[in-house]
Amino acid sequence: MDPVSEIKARLPIEQLVGQYVQMKPKGRNFVSLCPFHNDKHPSFLISPDKGIAYCFACNSGGDIFSFYQKVENVDFPQAIRELAERTGVALPKRGDAPIVDKDEKEQLRSCVEAAQKFFRKNLVSSELATKYLGKRGVPAALIETFGMGYAPDSFSDTYQYLLKEGFSRKEIIAAGLGIQKELSEERIYDRFRNRLMFPISDMQGRIVAFGGRTLGEDDAKYINSSEGPIYRKSGILFGLHLAREAIRENKRVVMVEGYFDVVACHKVGITNVVAVSGTALTEEHARILKRGADAVVLCLDADRAGQEAAERAFHILSKEGILVLAAEITAKDPDEAAQADAEDLKKRITDGAKPYLDLVLGQMRSQNLSRPEDRRNALQRVLKLLSALPTAVERQQYMAPFAALFGTTETALKEDLGRVVVTASQNSISGTAASVGARHAVPLPSSGKSFSPSPFSPAEISLGLFVLYPRLRNLLPELIAPEDPFGAALYEALKNSDQGTSDAVGALRGSKSSPQATMPLLAPEHQERLSVLLLFCEQHGFHEWSENLAAGEIRRNCQQANRTTILVKQRDVMAKLAVARKEGKTVEEAQLSTQYQQILKLSKMAG
């Protein structure tokens, strides 16, 4: 068995996808919110039988390799290497070198891993760093868990070490570990100097960057690696790789502000905790959290900046459909709270968290809103907060208390809120309408309506129906042979297949026969798209039609496909004919004129 097939055999699609999203069974398949777009209703379909996970709303997904490439933002060779490592599949080698050479990203990961070893070694020998960690109350076990290290107080120690380890100047800079201040200046400086180092990892636990806390008098208390091929701040949450299992169990994640806050939560026994890494919370962060959590507990710093960050986070998380809670602490931040009273911090986060809007309501009740401008500002703030809630039921829950706060009626507050919600919806619709119109629409049987935009053309739908209904393959000549690679390959496979052997319908309806064994044989590069096509047919119930209805839909889709094919051919020949006439190529002009007449005859035959 080749490595690709062996990896697929060892790693079922539902097992891989389940590591990234919350799946719910639906018949013989699973569904989940799509990890690739802002999904409000489960539109991501996972089919164990076909080995496919696909979203027909944003047309993303595929087999385990396509899914992994998309969700991890890696190329195919890297996906093979990483999934082979997960499944224990040995990749073939050529001599001493792997069959796939190290790509840029893998080389940069090796670079940051080498830097991590260097920083870890330096921590052990640094009295300054070890004393600082002791002062912050970080036990040895957590130093090991988080892989903390120390970057020496030098402009070049890290750089020289990495050079000796075989990494190039370009790789050290791209990994975010070196700085070249001027392009004309050859010297490269260490980005991190005299800093306690926190490795930043992706969801798989692979180090992609570092955060460094100064142990001197630097103006910047914390700095992070620069963004590059392996590190995007908007897609990384510090501590997520350590929190994934706890998040999965609790369906809840605690969000704090800094590295030491994450460590502090671990110290008191709270492991489902993350922090943003060198940036504010983004929509992508929210979508990542939504894959495993139903609720987020905000436990940010108590200062003004922390409160503003909490409010921004509420807007972003609520619009993703996540319940936002808040834990109030008496100290400046969770780290100080843990050192002051560990049990109190744990209780406030696990048992004392309450809906964020309850916290806002309590704060506003204690404020003096007698001045008109203060009342107006407070009202605008409340309307924005309420409009971020994903459901009308949740908004209604806060109508009475906020109306009472402003001394008005629920009706008046609803009217103001309605204008805010409508404006936001119109802005959202206008921003997405243009992209939707560009896709195909698949006609419903015997109606003027259409399904949602489809990734498949009428020709492909026709071919999918021929797979599902083998006894109707006598109608195949009614379809002009497609010229795209997938359509042409499937057309030829159907033309050469035995009409009586396919049991794709039985497979879709629960037959024990394997659909892969009875479907038309296709080259590997087309098998995935065929599986997605049949999953689309299953999702829309095409396999449940009577043969009479199926025959009618085949003919209708064939006619629509033929008209498109003929129109394209006509335009192509006419363009070439005009060029031939202009350049005086009489022989070529005569040949093209004959082709055009043939297309006209074909057009009449196709109806």
Q: Is residue 258 assigned to a domain? A: yes
% of the chain residues with pLDDT over 70 = 87
Residue 424 falls inside a structural domain = no
User: Residue 79: its pLDDT value, please?
Assistant: 87
Distance CA 179, CA 212 (A): 15
Q: Residue 463 pLDDT > 90, yes or no?
A: yes
Tokens 């350590």: give the residue: 242
Region of poorest pLDDT, from 378-387, 389-398, 446-455: 446-455
pLDDT tens sequence across 2-50: 888 889 889 999 999 988 888 999 888 999 999 888 787 889 999 998 8
Same domain, 186 and 309: no
User: Is residue 398 included in any domain, yes or no?
Assistant: no
Which of 91-95, 311-315, 480-484 bottoms out in mean pLDDT, i.e. has the lowest? 91-95
Q: How does strand 295-298 pair with strand 323-326?
A: parallel
As given in the structure block, the two tokens for residue 120 are: 């870890």
Mean of pLDDT values over 373-380: 92
Q: Side by side, which strands form the sheet with 195-201?
A: 149-151, 195-201, 207-214, 222-224
Question: Average pLDDT, stretch 467-487?
Answer: 90
Sign of CA dihedral 369, 375, 377, 380: positive
Mode of pairing for the β-strands spanning 222-224 and 207-214: antiparallel
DSSP-based three-state secondary structure for 8: helix
pLDDT band at 101 (very low <50, low <70, confident <90, very high): very low
Cβ–Cβ under 8 Å, residues 108 and 230: yes
| pLDDT tens string 71-88 | 887 788 888 888 998 888
Is the same domain home to 274 and 324? yes
pTM of the model: 0.67
> Do 111 and 41 have their domain in common?
no
Whole-number pLDDT of residue 428: 45
Q: Considering only 99-108, 123-132, 534-543, 590-599, which range has the smallest mean pLDDT?
A: 99-108
C-alpha–C-alpha distance, residues 15 and 20, integer Å: 10
pLDDT in tens, 45-55: 999 988 999 99
Q: Which residues contact 234 (CB under 8 A, 6 or more apart)?
A: 279, 282, 284, 285
Alpha helices by DSSP H, 76-168: 76-87, 104-125, 127-135, 140-146, 157-164
Residue 92 maps to which CATH number?
Answer: 3.90.580.10
Query: Which one of 350, 366, 382 terminates a domain?
Result: 366
pLDDT digits (tens, 9 = 90+) for 404-434: 999 999 999 998 888 776 555 445 434 433 3
Beta strands in 244-328 (DSSP E): 252-256, 273-276, 295-298, 323-326
Asked if the model's pLDDT at residue 265 lies above 90, the reply is: yes
What pLDDT, on the 0 to 100 scale, is given for residue 1?
65
Domain range for residue 318?
237-366
Residue 432 lies in a domain: no
114 with 92, same domain: the answer is no
DSSP codes, 401-442: HHHHHTT--HHHHHHHHHHHHHHHHHHHHHHHHHHHTTSEEE
Buried b (16+ CB within 10 A) or exposed e, 458-478: bbbbbbbbbbbbbebbebbeb
Domain end, chosen from 309, 335, 366, is at 366
Summary mean pLDDT of the chain: 85
- Average pLDDT (365-373) is 89
pLDDT at residue 499, as a whole number: 52
The CATH number that applies at residue 356 is: 3.40.1360.10
